[in-house]
Chains A and B, each alone.
Chain A
Amino acid sequence: MSTSLQDKIGMQLETYTFKVEGVKARELALAIGDLKEEYLKGEKLPPTFPTVIDFWGGTQNTSAVLNLNMKKVLHGEMEYEYVGTINPGDVLTVKGSVENAYTKAAMNFFVIKKEFYNEKGELVLISRSTTIERH
């Protein structure tokens, strides 16, 4: 493992807030083709909705922070633990960090953990995303 890769373990990402808008649930549901009425009305969120928060929330591009070559990046794994409920209208605070970074089979692996808190300070979701950078 290269030293620079190991140095990224424990790195804190920018903390940001994100307002969950029902219309974003509708857009995601339409793109997936998951046409449940409660998603289309923006009353409930599809299970993979947090990806919208990942990409639209905050100003920091995680791939850029990790200095990844975007042409070489693939998504390896994704995990959501639905500790609580997220509702449209909630304003979430998202805290992220690099939980692990390692090299295996000529590829770099980065595990990003994010914790999502609602306005009451309750932890509502934990996500873990494994990004793969091909050499």
Chain B
Amino acid sequence: MNVGYVFEPIQKDEVTHQQLVKYAGASGDFNQIHTVVPYAEEAGLGGVIAHGMMIMGFIGQAIGEWCSVDDLAKFNVRFRAMTRPGEKITVRGSVVDETADRWVCEAEAVNEAGEVKVKGNFEIRK
């Protein structure tokens, strides 16, 4: 690795309603804005939205493919835009800096139109 290195992007399959139900069950986050369409509409969201943590999980998947999760020291994200069923997410990342003992990297999850859904940083122990 070196500063400026760009990781191979990870292309995820389309997010589906079924996946959100599965993610709700696995994570234990049963907030109905993620799974129950009438509830999400009533909440003013115009339909269900994906769990932000699932999209962070997509980035986590990419980190495991780009590096080793055993070396992961820090991982933080900001949830920037809502993701809805039907959207296809790509995870991109690069090495932006280094310290004596860590590689500092950036990553983002974007849809097909390039809208940034989740943006964050992670640090890998050297």
Interface residues of A (CB under 8 A from B): 24, 27-28, 30-34, 36, 44, 46-48, 51-52, 54-56, 70-82, 85, 128
Contacts and interface: CB of A to CB of B under 8 A. Distances in A.
Given A71-B33, A75-B79, A77-B79, A31 B72 contact: no
Contacts of B52: 74-75, 78
Contacts of B26: 24, 27-28, 30-31, 52
B126 interface: no
6 contacts: A24-B26, A27-B26, A52-B28, A75-B52, A75-B79, A76-B79
Nearest to A129: B53
Contacts of B99: none
Given A47-B60, A47-B72, A27 B79 contact: no
Contact of A47 (B22, B51, B63): B63
B76 A78 contact: yes
A81 to B, nearest CB: 5
B27 A82 contact: no
B46 interface: no
Chain B, interface residues (CB within 8 Å), range: 35 or more
A27 B64 contact: no
Interface of B: 12-13, 19, 22-23, 25-33, 39, 42-44, 51-54, 56-58, 60-61, 63-64, 69-70, 72-79
A82 B13 contact: no
A32 B74 contact: no
Contacts of B42: 71
Nearest to B28: A55
Contacts of A77: 76-79
Contact of A56 (B19, B28, B39): B28
Given A46-B69, A80-B76, 5 more contacts: A46-B61, A48-B53, A78-B79, A81-B73, A82-B73
